[in-house]
Structure 1
Amino acid sequence: MTEKIKIPHTLILLLAMMLVAYLATWIVPQGFFETITLDNGRQSVVPGTFQLSEEKTRLTPMDFFVAIPRAFAGAQDVIFFVFIIGGVLAIARSTGTIDALIGSLLERFGKKPHMLIFMVIFSFAMASGVIGAAGEYIPFILILVGLCRAMRLDAMTAVGMTVTGYGIGYGVSAFNPFTVMIAQSISNVPIYSGIELRLAIFVPFVVIGFHHVWSYAKTVLANPDASLTAHIPCPLKGTDKANYPKITLAHKLILLGLVVTIITAVWGISQHGWYLDELGALFILWGLFTVIVGRLNADEAAEQFIEGVKELANTAMLVGVARGIALILEDGQILHSLVYGMSFPLSYVGSEIAAVGMLVMQTLLNLFIPSGSGQAYVTIPLLAPVGDLVGVNRQVVVLAYQFGDGFSNMIIPTNAVLMGIIGMAGIPYHLWFRFCLPLLTKLMVAAAIVLVAAVLLDYGADVQPVLSINGK
């Protein structure tokens, strides 16, 4: 029966979502909150100031189509970073370094795939939780796809372990400067307070993610035809190797250069606020280093780089169009209306239900505001006073925001990093959705239990600011 149902291409699905968003701008009442400019230059909404727009903004069909190239411009940092990574990795592959690395990892983990899966999920979750790593995982995808393919697994397993670590790291982060620190500062609670609970739930949530990915991987090992991607061409063009090359001195130097590149990126992100522009520059330098150490001539390196970029044209399209959904909602002035409509009912329910409702609200809003910090500036100023009203401590409000933003990062098609990852692995979005939805459900249930327990245990009462409902 399922074979008879033709699933549209991921690009068509994203364009359909853009169309739904466009139609919503004609149906949903337009409104806005007043905003203020904070010391860091970011805009934050002012609670209690929502009002409907006196003059309606009607987007024309031309506005819809103009939003597409504007969306590409808005996502240019991710698009060009993906192009750079694809080109540089193609150069590295041409030197045999990637194949040699896969062969080395196979010797260590070939008979222990569960160890590899746990190690990747745990490590990526740690990196996301501490420094907010996300786009930095894109360079690893093709390496993990090749490794999984050699271990009789599939591309879905490679993406599963990567994105699971990324999402859980953001969801239960103890230190993430882009989510925890911002949300707590807006909530007027001490930065990094309440860390004990977040540290305590880190491993249990990682275990949930590992169990899901490993259960799928075991199924594929037992029956390769059960793979969700069995009918999808491998992005590595099926270049299976029975004998992988041994690592030479040149390979080791190239891999050392990659390690130095990543360490430098981590330092730049944490100390100087670097992001994709600077990371792209670092990988270009690594590419030049690889050309020299790998003794490639200039023409060969240029051809390999261009071929790597070509292979990721589809991914760039998906990343660009995904940005258009939120752009349409912003242009149609209904983004604040959606936030207000979701937050208003929470003031009329009990504290436990309100906490879980905040989780659901943050999850849904992440589809429209895929930026973690951007979501904090829009929602936390509204939900913190609501929490005061219904008896939900602001520390719990922050936790609900973290869960909703982090876990849904793994599945929302407006997340440019996610679309870049699955695009590089050659996985259509509908297949990823099928794999990820059960995992997201498990994580959401666990998150709801933690939130209810946090309310019952009065989590955050020691740092709850003494404020009136109006924040005075």
Structure 2
Amino acid sequence: MTKFKVPHTLTLLFSMMVLAMIATWIVPQGFFDTQTLANGRTAVIPGTFTLVEERQYLTPWQLLTAIPRAFASAQDVIFFVMILGGVLSIARATGTVDALIGRLLERYGNKPQMLIFMVVFCFAMASSFIGTAGEYIPFVLILVALCKAMRLDAMTAVGMTVAGYGIGYGVSAFNPFTVIIAQQIADLPPMSGNWLRFAIFVPFVLIGFHHVWSYSKKVLANPEISMVKDLPCPLIGTETVAYPPLTWAHRLILASFVLTIGIVAYNIRANGWYLYELGAAFIAWGLFITVIGKVSADVAANKFIAGAMELTTTAMLIGVARGISLIMEDGQILHSLVHGMSTPLSYVGAEAAAVGMLVIQTLLNFFIPSGSGQAYVTMPLMVPVADLLEIPRQVAVLAYQFGDGFSNMIIPTNAVLMGIIGIAGIPYGHWFRFCLPLMLKLMLASSLVLVLAIIFGYGLDLQPAVA
């Protein structure tokens, strides 16, 4: 029997687009009425779901036209990734990355477990507090190079990055893009209930660390069991036999990188910056390091173009991934799926319904990969269900953030995830096999937390009065 082979990630994503189109022929088409909130965003109105009077069938031609439309819709992410690739290529030309890797190897070369824990913990902290996500993409190639030098593999580098990102979102203390929005919709005080999320932060981080480190130990003992041993390393041709010393110019470049990340993180929260502004900030950093690193203008231009070209595949994956949810929207089945999944919750007990909310939010994140977008679509429906079953609204918010955050690590419609694994040269099928056991562990742990939250009345002290 021929051994089954996972198809190329692009093939897999396009197949999902085809399945989404077929689903629009079968799934009942309908929609909720929406209302415009004070912040300008729209939210669905519970109890207003209506089936369309006449089904509209999407055609294969509309499937094909959805692809360029998806690229246009995801252009901010695509161009940010390509700009980032170009700027990081300039940074590599200054020798800073090699010097940093040499310095880190001196300190952590014999303690890879410490490096993995630090990355998972720090990335989880950043995602939890300020909602960082795409900002991790600049670190991927640095971590891949570092892992390679420590006899680990690219999967370890991506594993610690994505585990920190997903767990940070899942147990966020006050992520402004998810928790704050969901609590506003649920009529709860912003940032309320933080004591529980603080309490479970370290245990969930340890789950992620243990998963990545367990895999890494096996790779260290036997490189042949690496999940990516059959794949070319994205850093082929950049091997350094002797790492250069970390000069003051390198230190200044690294300090300016940290400063750039800090400026970006602050302005995301304070001034609503997003990918256009992020791209501009990294272009400014690229110009700065060109001067500090004494890279000629022509060399910098060639490095920038080469770095951007290396991420063409990643850009393609991001564009096609966006096409899946676009087909769902065009076929008017997105609200139907939400309605169909949420209705059965009203027929089960509180504990089962809380876990059911987690499962539904996890599944819906595939179709609505935007955390804030998912909150506006699902929370207006989950809140009445929670009230009906006497589930504290704080628990409904917790189920939402668990489902949205953890599934960010595995759904192929998440542009940030596709950008990270694309830069590291890891096909989605390989990543899925690595991440699925971690997802199951996190789902089991979060289900236990939700059940205990129901038993101990988490959030009852802030429950709004229901008419």
TM exceeds 0.5?
A: yes
Gaps of at least 5 residues in structure 2 are none
Distance, in Å, in 2 between the alignment partners of 1:51 and 1:4 is 46
Q: Which residue of 2 aligns with 1:283?
A: 282
Distance, in Å, in 1 between the alignment partners of 2:176 and 2:96 is 34
Distance, in Å, in 2 between the alignment partners of 1:266 and 1:389 is 39
Q: Which residue of 1 aligns with 2:111?
A: 112
Gaps of at least 5 residues in structure 1 are none
Q: Which residue of 2 aligns with 1:393?
A: 392
Q: Which residue of 2 aligns with 1:22?
A: 21
Matched, 1:49 2:48: yes
Distance, in Å, in 1 between the alignment partners of 2:258 and 2:195 is 31
* Preserved contact between residue 125 and residue 168 of structure 1 (Cα < 8 Å): yes
Q: Which residue of 2 aligns with 1:342?
A: 341
Q: Which residue of 1 aligns with 2:422?
A: 423
Q: Which residue of 1 aligns with 2:182?
A: 183
Q: Which residue of 1 aligns with 2:130?
A: 131
Q: Which residue of 1 aligns with 2:298?
A: 299
| Letter matched to residue 117 of structure 1 | I
What's the CA shift for 1:242?
Answer: 2.8
Q: Deviations over 1:22-51 (max 9, x none)?
A: 000000000110000001111100001111
Matched, 1:358 2:324: no
The 3-state SS of whatever aligns with 1:36 is strand
Q: Percent identity, please.
A: 70
Q: Which residue of 2 aligns with 1:406?
A: 405
Q: Deviations over 1:324-354 (max 9, x none)?
A: 0000000000000000000000000000000
Distance, in Å, in 2 between the alignment partners of 1:396 and 1:217 is 35
> What does 1:88-99 align with in structure 2 at a 5 Å threshold?
88-99=87-98
What's the CA shift for 1:254?
Answer: 1.1
Moved beyond 4 Å, runs of 4+: none
Distance, in Å, in 2 between the alignment partners of 1:450 and 1:459 is 10
| Letter matched to residue 90 of structure 1 | S
| Letter matched to residue 214 of structure 2 | S
* Preserved contact between residue 150 and residue 240 of structure 1 (Cα < 8 Å): no
Distance, in Å, in 2 between the alignment partners of 1:389 and 1:256 is 53
Distance, in Å, in 2 between the alignment partners of 1:74 and 1:441 is 32
Matched, 1:169 2:168: yes
Q: Which residue of 1 aligns with 2:144?
A: 145
> What does 1:241-390 align with in structure 2 at a 5 Å threshold?
241-390=240-389
What's the CA shift for 1:119?
Answer: 0.2
Q: Which residue of 2 aligns with 1:32?
A: 31
* Preserved contact between residue 84 and residue 309 of structure 1 (Cα < 8 Å): yes
Distance, in Å, in 1 between the alignment partners of 2:237 and 2:225 is 19
Q: Deviations over 1:296-332 (max 9, x none)?
A: 1111110000000110000000000000000000000
| Letter matched to residue 387 of structure 1 | A
The 3-state SS of whatever aligns with 2:43 is strand
Distance, in Å, in 1 between the alignment partners of 2:355 and 2:465 is 23
Distance, in Å, in 1 between the alignment partners of 2:112 and 2:213 is 8
Q: Deviations over 1:258-309 (max 9, x none)?
A: 1111111111112111111111101000100111111111111100000001
Distance, in Å, in 2 between the alignment partners of 1:380 and 1:95 is 48
Matched, 1:440 2:451: no
| Letter matched to residue 194 of structure 2 | I
Q: Deviations over 1:203-233 (max 9, x none)?
A: 0000000000000000000000110001111
Q: Which moved more, 1:286-295 or 1:415-424?
A: 286-295
* Preserved contact between residue 356 and residue 448 of structure 1 (Cα < 8 Å): yes
| Letter matched to residue 105 of structure 1 | L
Distance, in Å, in 2 between the alignment partners of 1:305 and 1:164 is 29
Size of the aligned set, in residue pairs, is 467
What's the CA shift for 1:246?
Answer: 0.5
Distance, in Å, in 2 between the alignment partners of 1:462 and 1:364 is 30
What's the CA shift for 1:390?
Answer: 1.0
Q: Deviations over 1:83-107 (max 9, x none)?
A: 0110000001111111001111111
What's the CA shift for 1:396?
Answer: 0.3
Matched, 1:121 2:120: yes
What's the CA shift for 1:6?
Answer: 2.3
Distance, in Å, in 2 between the alignment partners of 1:190 and 1:239 is 51
The 3-state SS of whatever aligns with 1:44 is strand
Give the TM-score normalised by structure 2.
0.99
Distance, in Å, in 2 between the alignment partners of 1:237 and 1:70 is 34
* Preserved contact between residue 114 and residue 214 of structure 1 (Cα < 8 Å): yes
Q: Which residue of 2 aligns with 1:228?
A: 227
What's the CA shift for 1:60?
Answer: 1.5
The 3-state SS of whatever aligns with 1:319 is helix
What's the CA shift for 1:238?
Answer: 4.6
Q: Deviations over 1:11-31 (max 9, x none)?
A: 000000000000000000001
Distance, in Å, in 1 between the alignment partners of 2:3 and 2:51 is 46
The 3-state SS of whatever aligns with 2:367 is coil
What's the CA shift for 1:363?
Answer: 0.2
Q: Which residue of 2 aligns with 1:239?
A: 238
Distance, in Å, in 2 between the alignment partners of 1:92 and 1:448 is 43
* RMSD between aligned residues: 0.9
The 3-state SS of whatever aligns with 1:4 is coil
Distance, in Å, in 2 between the alignment partners of 1:145 and 1:436 is 17
* Preserved contact between residue 157 and residue 213 of structure 1 (Cα < 8 Å): yes
The 3-state SS of whatever aligns with 1:338 is helix
* Preserved contact between residue 171 and residue 407 of structure 1 (Cα < 8 Å): yes
The 3-state SS of whatever aligns with 1:366 is helix
What's the CA shift for 1:249?
Answer: 1.8
| Letter matched to residue 171 of structure 1 | G
Matched, 1:11 2:48: no
Give the TM-score normalised by structure 1.
0.98
Distance, in Å, in 1 between the alignment partners of 2:211 and 2:294 is 43
| Letter matched to residue 246 of structure 1 | P
